[in-house]
Amino acid sequence: MAKKKKSLTYEFTKGIVKENPLLVLLLGTCPALAVTTSAWNGVGMGLATIFVLVLSNLVISALRNVIPDRVRIPSYITIIASLVTILHLLLQAYLPDLNKSLGIFIPLITVNCIILGRAEAFANRRTVLESIFDGLGMGVGFTLALFIIGAIREILGAGTFFGLALPFVGGDNMLQPILIFSLPPGGFAIFGLLIALSQKLSNRLYAQTPATTLDREHYPGSVLEGSAFGADGRLAYPADDRRSSGSSVGSSASKDLSDESED
Amino acid sequence: MVDIAKILFTVILINNIVLSQFLGVCSFLGLTTNLKNSMGMSLAVIFVMVVSSAITHPIYTFLLVPNSLEYLQTVVFILVIASAVQVLEAIIKKIMPPLYKAMGIYLPLITTNCAILGIMLLNIQESYTFFQAIINGFGAGISYMLAMFLFAGVRQKMAEAKIPEFFKGMPSVLVAAAIVSVSFNGFKGVIENIFS
């Protein structure tokens, strides 16, 4: 029992730092760049993604023995799209302001690589409880990263933090906001600098090769470095996610395996 | 005519789909490692973009709106795109093997490319007519191609550059994307003077 609990904690925490979906796995870059013009937008987008990610992990994991293997990707997309529709209606009803500022990127959560990626790499072969914790962890990691990018861009680009004016910015003889950080180029630049920072930190923490060289082939839709293609030139959906993570993050793989042998 | 020119100009240069609207950034970062990949992916995107625009717009206007089912647009559109991709793949494979060879492997990736779903939703949001929606879809494809081509060139130059240890890989690519994106900011405000 204690072992089980530890494993759940691990599923939760791995998404926050070690396998942070945005900064390490580089998934979900579109919303990360587009909506992070302010800290509140970043957090709002993150919370919306948590909602969809946890529920889609739950549903897909519960249905993992029902969905035929051949049509799983369309099934997952339909499940995710339905959840996004529910979320969209909820936001329209209760948080119209947030809905308006996130705009088109709420329906676009459907094609966020993180959600389909977790469904494919995790939820379709793990228990419901594990999948929920995995979704929560990944969602919190994504939200944190969005919050950091949003906060930096808001402070530098608009001189505010969560909409409140900072004391030393704006007036005469004071610092002026740097508009370009609110514009698209600032998004690319801040995101790039943040990944560089996280690579530096993760090198110190885990003593491994730069994190962005991780094998990402089990994420459909993420085509970084072209690794999504299998030998036959088709999109590859490897059957085992543990094998590929074993090649990159040795400690997590051995931990996973030891958990499994306990069961 | 002015109308069409305005849509094309806006979607290609001012609101460049990748560099200003951040749609399709995943594939933009992943496939610009060389010109051949960018070419194949861009072709496939243009193709699917036009076909999906032509399918989703009538479905929305004649099926969803009369039955007040507008809230189902996300589900319906993503299914249309996924099926369109499947059908297209089969057709191209049969009829035009050379074209399939050039862009076939990129087709499955397109379902999860947010540029496609994004443009379908924008077509509705901007309440374009059927014809305008197709033009917008085509323009968005060209816009994607322009960004991919420009950036593939930049990355080929970067391959020879000396980059600090922790900027190797994605960070340096993103910083370069920021600089390319600045150049597109120059077009802002131009449109009022041309088309007014």
Q: Which residues of B are less than 8 Å from A78 in CB distance? A: 75, 78-79
Q: Does B48 touch chain A (CB under 8 A)?
A: no
Q: Which of A90, A92, A195 to mutate to test the interface with B (most CBs of B within 10 A)?
A: A195
Q: Nearest residue of A to residue B29 by CA position?
A: A224
Q: Does B114 touch chain A (CB under 8 A)?
A: yes
Mean pLDDT of the region B22-32: 84
Residue among B165, B162, B182, B170 at smallest CA distance from B29: B170
- Which of B25, B121, B179 minimises the CB distance to A107? B121
Cα B120 from Cα B74, distance rounded (Å): 9
Q: Does A250 touch chain B (CB under 8 A)?
A: no
Query: What's the CA angle centered on A150, arms A148 and A152, to 5 degrees?
Result: 70
The complex scores an ipTM of: 0.84
Residue pointed to by tokens 């060389």? B34
Q: Which residues of B are less than 8 Å from A81 in CB distance? A: 74-75, 78-79
pLDDT number for residue A215: 42
Chain B window 15-34: which residues touch A at a Cβ cutoff of 8 Å?
A: 19-27, 29-31, 33
Q: Does A230 touch chain B (CB under 8 A)?
A: no
Q: Using alpha carbons only, how large is chain A's radius of gyration in Å?
A: 19
pLDDT number for residue B196: 60
pTM, rounded to two decimals: 0.80
Q: Which two tokens stand for residue A62?
A: 């519960």
Count of CB atoms situated within 10 Å of the CB of A236: 14
Q: Which of B114, B119, B180, B187 to mutate to test the interface with A (most CBs of A within 10 A)?
A: B114
DSSP state of B69: -
Inter-chain contact B181–A180, Cβ cutoff 8 Å?
Answer: no
pLDDT tens, A96-117? 998 988 888 899 998 888 888 8
Inter-chain contact A189–B175, Cβ cutoff 8 Å?
Answer: yes
Inter-chain contact A30–B24, Cβ cutoff 8 Å?
Answer: yes
Cα A46 from Cα A42, distance rounded (Å): 6
Chain A window 139-198: which residues touch B at a Cβ cutoff of 8 Å?
A: 180, 183-189, 191-193, 195-197
Mean pLDDT of the region A31-43: 88
pLDDT number for residue B38: 83
- Which of A33, A81, A225 minimises the CB distance to B22? A33
Q: Which residues of A are less than 8 Å from B168 in CB distance? A: 210
DSSP state of B107: H
Inter-chain contact B29–A180, Cβ cutoff 8 Å?
Answer: no
pLDDT number for residue A50: 94
3-state per-residue secondary structure call for chain A: CHHHHHHHHHHHHHCCCCCCCCCCCCCCHHHHHHCCCCHHHHHHHHHHHHHHHHHHHHHHHHCCCCCCHHHHHHHHHHHHHHHHHHHHHHHHHHCHHHHHHHHHHCHHHHHCHHHHHHHHHCHHHCCHHHHHHHHHHHHHHHHHHHHHHHHHHHHHHHCEECCEECCCECCCCCECCCHHHCCHHHHHHHHHHHHHHHHHHHHHHHCCCCHHHCCCCCCCCCCHHHCCECCCCCECCCCCHHHHHHHHCHHHHHHHHHHHHHC
Cα B149 from Cα B37, distance rounded (Å): 10
Cα B32 from Cα A16, distance rounded (Å): 29
Contact status, residue B116 vs residue B48, Cβ threshold 8 Å = yes
pLDDT number for residue A253: 37
Inter-chain contact A107–B73, Cβ cutoff 8 Å?
Answer: yes
pLDDT number for residue B194: 72
Share of chain A above pLDDT 70, in %: 73
Count of CB atoms situated within 10 Å of the CB of A191: 28
pLDDT number for residue A159: 80
pLDDT number for residue A238: 39
- Which of A180, A203, A213 minimises the CB distance to B169? A213
Residue B117 pLDDT > 70:
yes
At B126, the pLDDT band (50, 70, 90 cuts) reads confident
Share of chain B above pLDDT 70, in %: 96
Q: Which of B28-32, B74-78, B161-165 has the highest mean pLDDT?
A: B74-78
Distance from CA of B180 to the nearest CA of A (A): 8
Q: Does B69 touch chain A (CB under 8 A)?
A: no
